Amino acid sequence: MTVPDGSPFRGKSVMVVGGSRGIGAAIVTSFAAAGATVRFTYAGSRGAAEALAASTGSVAVQADAADRDRLLASVREAGELDVFVYNAGLLGGGDPLTLDPDAVDRLIDVNVRGAYHGSVEAARQMINGGRIIAIGSVHGDTMPFAGITAYGMSKSALQGLARGLARDFGPRGITVNVVQPGPTDTDMNPADGPLAQQMHDEMAIHRHGTAEEVASLVLYLASPPARGITGAMHTIDGGFGA
């Protein structure tokens, strides 16, 4: 892999929680291609994680983001950090009257508790400034369908996390932001899935976004020109919520 001349990420230390597939894998790939030293976690997709690590020169670490001790250990093992991306997320939809409460609790553990604890621990590992970026969702702002209450609630929680930590860590030059994708072609939401047409009808740009498009926004927020952007939500949804 040839790193572009003048890349601001050359030699920077990046950690991605939940990087084995989809948007997380695109973020890992993009930072590695830009010359960063990248470490990422995964929960169950060992094969995908090992293949990604081999093809990008990154390090894959098995760590369930719902396991706080394991998550914190994985952040500490990364050493000094320049960029921390919390991408791990579960969707899990259905009628709240019949949804398995344990599944809802796991969604909250992965989408919210892990984001809070991981981000705080990452800030301890940031010496000179730093960037914390959580992957939220357009559903943190809008709820066009029934059946995704817990998911939307979890993504709205990330907004409070970013606003609060931006204040807590701003004096240290650390920025904290949320990237909010709309329909993006991954295993979670395939562009040819059963609800795809319904989603496309709601969008200004009638197609799924790509994981690479989301990764580009993440890299921008981590780049030097974005040093004044913090406590903010950055929606990339093809006009789904417009």
Ligand X SMILES: NC(=O)c1ccc[n+]([C@@H]2O[C@H](COP(=O)([O-])OP(=O)(O)OC[C@H]3O[C@@H](n4cnc5c(N)ncnc54)[C@H](OP(=O)(O)O)[C@@H]3O)[C@@H](O)[C@H]2O)c1
Can you give the binding site for ligand X, defined by CB under 6 A?
18-24, 41-45, 64-66, 87-90, 110, 135, 137, 181, 183-184, 186-189
| 3-state secondary structure (DSSP) of residue 88 | coil
User: At 218, which helix (H) or strand (E)?
Assistant: helix 211-222
Q: Are 92 and 103 in contact (CB under 8 A)?
A: yes
Name the catalytic one among 42, 86, 116, 151.
Answer: 151
- DSSP annotation of 180 reads E
Our CB check for ligand X shows the closer of 130 and 183 to be 183
Would residue 151 show up in a list of annotated catalytic residues for this protein?
yes
Element (H, E) at 75: helix 68-77
Nearer to ligand X, 7 or 216 (CB): 216
| Planar angle of CA 14, 189, 43, nearest 5 degrees | 45
Closer to ligand X by CB, 3 or 191: give it.
Answer: 191
Toward ligand X, which CB reaches closer, 10 or 76?
76
Question: Token digits for 196?
Answer: 């795809």
Shortest gap between Cβ of 32 and ligand X (angstroms)?
A: 15
Task: For residue 224, give the DSSP letter.
Answer: G
For residue 143 the two structure tokens come to 């709820």
Q: Catalytic site residues?
A: 151
